Homo-oligomer: A and B are copies of this chain.
Amino acid sequence: MASTGKAAGAGRSLSEYSEVQSSRLDVHLPLPCVLRNPFNLVDGPPSSAAGNPEEIAKLFPNLFGQPSAMLKSATTSGAAADQSLIIGVVLSGGQAPGGHNVISGIFDYLQQRTKGSTLYGFKGGPAGIMKCKYIELSEEFVYPYRNQGGFDMICSGRDKIETPEQFKQAEETAKKLDLDGLVVIGGDDSNTNACLLAENFRSKNLKTRVTGCPKTIDGDLKCKEVPTSFGFDTACKIYAEMIGNVMIDARSTGKYYHFVRLMGRAASHITLECALETHPNITIIGEEVAAKKQTLKNVTDYITEIICKRAELGYNYGVILIPEGLIDFIPEVQQLIAELNEILAHDVVDQEGTWKKKLCSQSLDLFEFLPPEIQEQLLLERDPHGNVQVARIETEKMLIQMVETELNKRKHEGKYKGQFQGQSHFFGYEGRCGLPSNFDANYCYALGYAAGALLHSGKTGLISSVGNLGAPVEEWTVGGTSLTSLMDVERRHGKFKPVIKKAMVELEGAPFKKFASLRDDWTLKNRYVNPGSVQFVGSTANAINETLILELGAQA
């Protein structure tokens, strides 16, 4: 076996599988009809870019404008059945349920459609490509990971292939392994990187083609052709189970406000989806806070107001959802953090607080408004570059303390007679590596199988695209979307950089609008829904998430 070093992770042993894990291994995954039979790849019209097409054209001279393509059933296959391929696959960025099924899908495509092909798994993310660390994937090696969560089959990493030297390393690996193709499974950044690789390989006349696959539990990599990123469905269902349980507890106990911070650093899709699945009393959506230019005080007051109204109805409990990225959406907090980064790079934080004089008056006010614990987190939690680590700030605890302070004030003024006890939660790591839901298992398998088909058909610079997801799997559409068509540019350090823009929560989109139409009702009445644990068999096993249903409904 052409492996370098031992298997990624610690390997898996079937003898240590739980009953549920074992029961998932041999589950039959239905393929879209178009992937079951011979197919042709039909090109669409030439594509443009999501923004600044002239700049994108300059950045991708070989790929810009290429059409997206759709698979269509045919009597004989357009791709040669006797052609054997050498393909590499890499997992890039954070974990998401279903990654192993994408790999299984590629593997099975190659086994079933291209005799004698080889699939290499690059280990530990893009660094594995650069360092040529890989393992040859066999049926035996892949099997224990079928329908299982995690990325540990080949592990992932957050390195990027960016510099000329790094591109050179990737080329050398492609040449050394004689790669016909490479599948990059990742989020917006990783797919941008995939496209740069595709462009680079093409410009060097390498035969290596590159296909992307849309991964992220955050749900912020999506567009018309790519209706959702994989992992979002499972992660939200797991969080919604936990939230639903906490809700029933809140109602049964009658004395706690549960402040639940949910993973999703940039966009608030997870929080919105969980709200739609569980109907919490209060939900903060970062994009709305930003659009309304709210301050931390505004958010605190909004929560406090509802708690006071609920107390009048006799409810001294509730559940509040908060997106991880909340404070990134609040302009005044961004300003404070920017000033702190500047000051703390040069000054020592003295006990007397003379350093505070360097803050502008608005930032100083905000800093003084924050609870002492959070002040400390702002001053102490710093990354290796000395910057404040926003993700480590416990926003849920911060809000509990600020709300408590405000409630005490109102109590003192006779305006609030309730009792308040906050409980904080952060749900994140529990959802990234769960066993993929039936939807994610099927979707990922189709994405992987499609990636195989795209590479087999000679395509490069596309992202595997599976659509019509509201229909039964058999009717799903399959194709590849031109990655350059998803791109825009951002100016960084005086240069244009291509980016796939993160899909944020649209305040005019169907999911937010449904939420907005219902939230007042959820606020004072308790409309809690307990989704229960993810089921794999039976009548309740095949539901898809609310966000996707609503977005598909709005398109139809």
**Interface positions of A (Cβ within 8 A of B):** 9-10, 16-21, 23-24, 95, 124, 148-152, 155-156, 238, 241-242, 244-246, 248-249, 251-254, 256, 258, 277, 279, 315, 423, 425, 429-435, 525-540, 543
Contact = CB atoms under 8 A, between A and B. Distances in A.
A527 B9 CA distance: 12
Given A10-B526, A537-B537, A537-B538, A532 B20 contact: yes
Contacts of A277: 18
Given A148-B248, A152-B252, 17 more contacts: A9-B251, A10-B251, A16-B529, A18-B529, A18-B530, A21-B530, A150-B252, A151-B252, A152-B248, A238-B245, A245-B432, A248-B434, A425-B430, A532-B536, A533-B533, A533-B535, A535-B537
A156 B536 CA distance: 33
Specify how many copies of this chain sit in the oligomer.
2
Contact of A429 (B149, B238, B425): B425
Contact of A432 (B21, B244, B249, B536): B249
Which interface residue of A24, A315, A433, A529 has the most chain B CB atoms within 10 A? A433
Chain A to chain B: the 4 pairs with minimum beta-carbon distance, closest first? A20-B532, A533-B533, A150-B248, A248-B433
Contacts of A531: 18-21
B152 A251 contact: yes
B245 A530 contact: no
A532 B21 contact: yes
Given A16-B528, A19-B540, A246-B430, A252 B533 contact: no
Contacts of A434: 241, 245, 248, 532-533
A435 B533 contact: yes
Given A21-B530, A149-B530, A535-B535, A431 B245 contact: yes
Contacts of A429: 245-246, 249, 256, 258, 423, 425
A9 B531 CA distance: 19
Contacts of A433: 245-246, 248-249, 252
A321 to B, nearest CB: 14
Contacts of A249: 95, 150, 429, 432-433
A149 B248 contact: yes
Nearest to A149: B248
A19 B539 contact: yes
A148 to B, nearest CB: 8
Contacts of A530: 17-18, 20-21, 148-149, 435
A129 to B, nearest CB: 17
Contacts of A432: 245, 249
15 contacts: A10-B251, A10-B525, A10-B526, A17-B529, A18-B531, A21-B529, A24-B532, A95-B249, A151-B252, A155-B252, A156-B253, A238-B245, A256-B429, A425-B430, A532-B536
Nearest to A6: B314
Contacts of A533: 20, 238, 241, 434-435, 533-535
B150 A540 contact: no
Contacts of A430: 242, 245-246, 425
A424 B425 CA distance: 11
A533 B9 CA distance: 23
Contacts of A254: 9, 124, 155
Contacts of A256: 429
Contacts of A242: 242, 430
A251 B156 CA distance: 10
Contacts of A244: 18
Contacts of A18: 244, 277, 529-532
A231 to B, nearest CB: 12
A23 B150 contact: no
A242 B251 CA distance: 23
B150 A251 contact: yes
Given A433-B245, A526-B10, A252 B532 contact: no
Contacts of A156: 252-253
Nearest to A277: B18
Contacts of A539: 19, 23
Nearest to A253: B95
A149 B21 contact: no
A9 B249 CA distance: 11
A244 B434 CA distance: 8
A52 to B, nearest CB: 35
Contact of A536 (B279, B535, B543): B535
Contacts of A23: 538-540
A538 B536 contact: yes
A21 to B, nearest CB: 6
Contact of A20 (B315, B435, B535, B537): B535
Contacts of A532: 18, 20-21, 24, 434-435, 536
A525 B528 CA distance: 42
Nearest to A124: B254
A277 B17 CA distance: 11
Which interface residue of A9, A248, A525, A535 has the most chain B CB atoms within 10 A? A248
Contacts of A24: 532
Given A529-B18, A538-B538, A540-B23, A252 B423 contact: no
